[in-house]
Amino acid sequence: MYILFDIGGTKMRIAASRNGSEILDSKIVPTPKDFWEGMQTIKKISYDLIKGEKIDSAAGGIAGPLNKEKTMLVNSPNLPGWVEKPLVGELEHILASSVYIENDTAMVGLGEAIHGAGAKYSIVAYVTVSTGVGGVRIVDEHIDRSAAGFEIGHHIINFSSEAKCPSCEAGGHLEAYVSGAALEGYFEKKPYEITDPSVWEETAKILAYGLNNVAVFWSPEIIVLGGAMIVGNPAIPMDRIKYYFEETCKIFAENPVIEKASLGDVGGLYGAMEYLRQNLI
């Protein structure tokens, strides 16, 4: 049996797969703030899911950048209690199997590239706009190589701006304009409470500029957009994102298509399953 997990800032999902090609039961619980409590929660749910069978291996994503060896979080605004804790070492101990972790956005992107909106394409950019902004480049069904991961939310969209990035606090980053945390900061209400269409129009325009930058650097065939700010209600309108993108991105003979993510909340589990298959099965 294989254990798949997706550890987010507020919730975590844990699932089992018998053969690495299908997901059996899954369970969603709040992510404990305390790392050791988190480990005990994952242990209990995992052993409940496998019903007495042996765990062959486990893989999953976690919210934040990882160290080079991919064994622990080095930073995470949402999971400060998990930073620099021995995540892989402890999971290997409690699950008595090998364990692989990746950045959660990279896992969702891998799932979308193989089983979701990007399935027909070889070069996929996955961009998530949620509390923060993240992204990953997938090439031929693999997470593209990188020295330190992908952090498109922190590219500079306005160099003369004082707007502070909600997660890294530098000025003028894309995340300071289009993320849920940024909108909540400006308007002092939750993004889903913002009903003024002009706010969503402006957010679509700025996001399209950001996607222009993603397109010219990564040259994808498709940009898959996910995250609560894209799939929620209200959301940044897809048709306006596409409109402004076409107005902005004029250099290619053919622009990448832009599509909404299609796997919903389980993209990360599909990505983890593929990651295991590629590394192990």
Query: Residue 135 CB, nearest distance to Zn ion (Å)?
Result: 13
Query: Residue 171 CB, nearest distance to Zn ion (Å)?
Result: 9
Cβ proximity to Zn ion, 13 vs 173, nearer residue: 173
Residue number of the CB atom closest to Zn ion: 165
Cβ proximity to Zn ion, 217 vs 252, nearer residue: 217
Query: Residue 201 CB, nearest distance to Zn ion (Å)?
Result: 24
- Write the single-letter amino acid at 170: A
How many Cβ atoms from other residues are within 10 Å of residue 28's Cβ? 14
Cβ proximity to Zn ion, 35 vs 209, nearer residue: 209
Query: Residue 190 CB, nearest distance to Zn ion (Å)?
Result: 21
The CA-atom distances, in angstroms, between 195 and each of 174, 238, 264 are: 22, 16, 23
Query: Residue 26 CB, nearest distance to Zn ion (Å)?
Result: 32
Provide the strand spans (E) within 116-188.
123-129, 133-139, 142-143
Collapsed DSSP state (helix, strand, coil) of residue 95: helix
Backbone angles phi, psi at 188, to 5 degrees: 55, 35
Cβ proximity to Zn ion, 172 vs 220, nearer residue: 172
> How far does CA 87 lie from the centroid of its chain?
18
Cβ proximity to Zn ion, 94 vs 181, nearer residue: 181
- Residues in contact with Zn ion by the rule CB under 5 A: 154, 165, 168, 173
User: Residue 250, exposed/middle/buried by CB under 10 A (0-12, 13-18, 19+)?
Assistant: exposed
